[in-house]
Chains A and B, each alone.
Chain A
């Protein structure tokens, strides 16, 4: 038992820190720290900086231009980049599709798509969920019917995160209605510019059009865009979701949120003293901090197990639940901390360089926005109820 990093790991951490000091633009870090809206160009800028250093393909092997890092190195990188308020690396191409293509794609697909993910030529989005296929993902109804050298796609995808910026979408489509629902699904790569693809924004409760509906009307997709075999898409989908669950605990986000919360509660005055000195409020903050201290170690235990070659099991479901609940609690306390100034909703104030004075302290509205936005945490990536189901199946073996 040893809770410290090895000398090599500590040296790697220092290397990441030095890189962030030198290369992370202050403009981007400030936007992230202040909860401002990130533009498409902001993500692209940060991706390009990481790619220039060879650090964009965080969980990619070296042969495909990735870092080749092990689980602990990936953890250190995640911890340091969040601490420095770097924009997040968008997962759709890098964490989700990339590993699937490496494992199940053909040589032509790998040679064509993987470099384009790294160099930013393609912005992928995820075509998984549908109005009738949320937690019950195998119920996808979007159809792809073979017609010569093409598939003809009809249907609707939803909750497509940042689909408004994407030029490509990977889709789960139904290619067969025979057998179990899982048996007739295929994974298809679709160019968003193809006639018949339409993207409609969905404005969420925080006021942001973060997700979209994507409609397909007789969209003709070249048959070569099928990944792997027809009707085997469920296997690929599940493989992709295990990668979606890397860094599921979100320890770095929680730590950043907690220190912001403490800063806010130290500035907000409550009956003549800082709010953080109100014993009732302080107790809630302390309790979530204690939970986070333990969860960070639970996360490290999982990483250490992965490092020694153990496949992640129900642990990632436990981390998903605990990690998201802790982050939501921190968001709720930050919203509570800003008091009456949680209420004003001045959307333009979230834009960089907007000529709009914030109402009240600059941190107030982002606190409310983050609170509402992060209600999604316990819903997406397999809702927390689905995770409980996974845990109980693994443990109860009923």
Chain B
């Protein structure tokens, strides 16, 4: 039992914290959301040179990490800074699938900083990982893909998309889903900025790809998707934790500095007790992230139970932290100008990806009953 970071992870954390503190501002992140890429390519380049995407892959896959606690350290720092970069989409979701499918050339490109995105969710799938209506049909020399993908984060900046499509079975079957590597410029995109920063796109697919675009085994992609999703959840929960830590700092500072009725508002017990409850839930959130990241390499049953537990708890804690912080800041917390808004919105939006609080509570009950 040991909750200390290894020396390598400690160095990565220190390096990231310095770089991000020097380069990331909430104004910069908001401005980047209005650029075509949706994020600052120079920032992603600097993080790439530091080895951030590489830390998401095991040594066998050409990286130097790939464990749950690598994901935790990196993602928490990104959250702490409020940074918007395609770590989850490129290195964890698309990259994780490509590594599992043995595509070392593409993994190498991702480690070098190239942006990939994972086009899986659909307009009607909500959070159900098995719901895939997009079809893929075999042609003489490849595959014909047709369908629609929804809210694909960082698709506007991606060169390549990992796309899920059904090659057999019914719309909600786990069996019969396949994955394809698709050049982004063959897809029709409607792109837009996000409340939490960055850009995403609605994607319409009506294209053909070569036969070697198939990733892994035909019809058997669900296990790969679920594993990548679990790692994406871990990254997002750790990012949420980092966001909460910064929101805590901003709010505590504000409670100390802001004076009303002749004293700092932090002297008022009504606010002190609410802040204490916020702190308790942030500690709970940290424990939930540790539990999930410590079980990413466990059996599927144990891993998925921890995914549900963490996502449910982080969803509840994130809502409390964001709402209480805005309330305790008062009017200034409502403004776009002040940093809190960016962090609070980004935190709030973490409950709208990979399954929300209720989705994971229901799934936790189902998985525990087995």
Q: Which residues of A does B touch, CB under 8 Å?
A: 1-6, 9, 72, 279, 282-283, 286-287, 289-291, 293-298, 300-301, 303-305, 314-315, 318, 321-322, 385, 387-389, 391-392, 395-398
Contacts and interface: CB of A to CB of B under 8 A. Distances in A.
B223 interface: no
Interface stretch (B88-96, B118-126, B265-273): B265-273
A321 B294 CA distance: 25
B5 A398 contact: no
A295 B284 contact: yes
Contact of A298 (B252, B275, B287, B294): B287
Nearest to B5: A1
B284 A396 contact: no
A392 B267 CA distance: 10
Interface residues of B, number: 41
Nearest to B9: A1
Contacts of B364: 286, 289-290
A287 B252 contact: no
B256 interface: yes
- Please give me the 10 A-B residue pairs with the lowest Cβ-Cβ distance, nearest first: A392-B272, A297-B287, A388-B276, A391-B276, A294-B287, A3-B294, A388-B273, A1-B69, A294-B288, A298-B287
B365 interface: yes
B105 interface: no
B203 to A, nearest CB: 34
A392 B69 CA distance: 30
B161 interface: no
B280 A392 contact: no
A72 B294 CA distance: 19
A262 to B, nearest CB: 9
B3 A301 contact: yes
A286 B256 contact: no
Given A1-B69, A395-B275, A321 B3 contact: no
A286 B358 CA distance: 11
Given A1-B290, A72-B1, A300-B1, A397 B256 contact: yes
A388 B276 CA distance: 6
Contact of A388 (B3, B277, B291, B313): B277
Contacts of B18: none
26 contacts: A1-B290, A1-B293, A1-B294, A2-B2, A4-B1, A279-B365, A286-B361, A289-B364, A289-B368, A290-B288, A290-B308, A291-B284, A293-B288, A294-B288, A297-B291, A301-B290, A321-B280, A322-B280, A322-B284, A389-B269, A389-B273, A391-B280, A392-B276, A396-B275, A398-B256, A398-B264
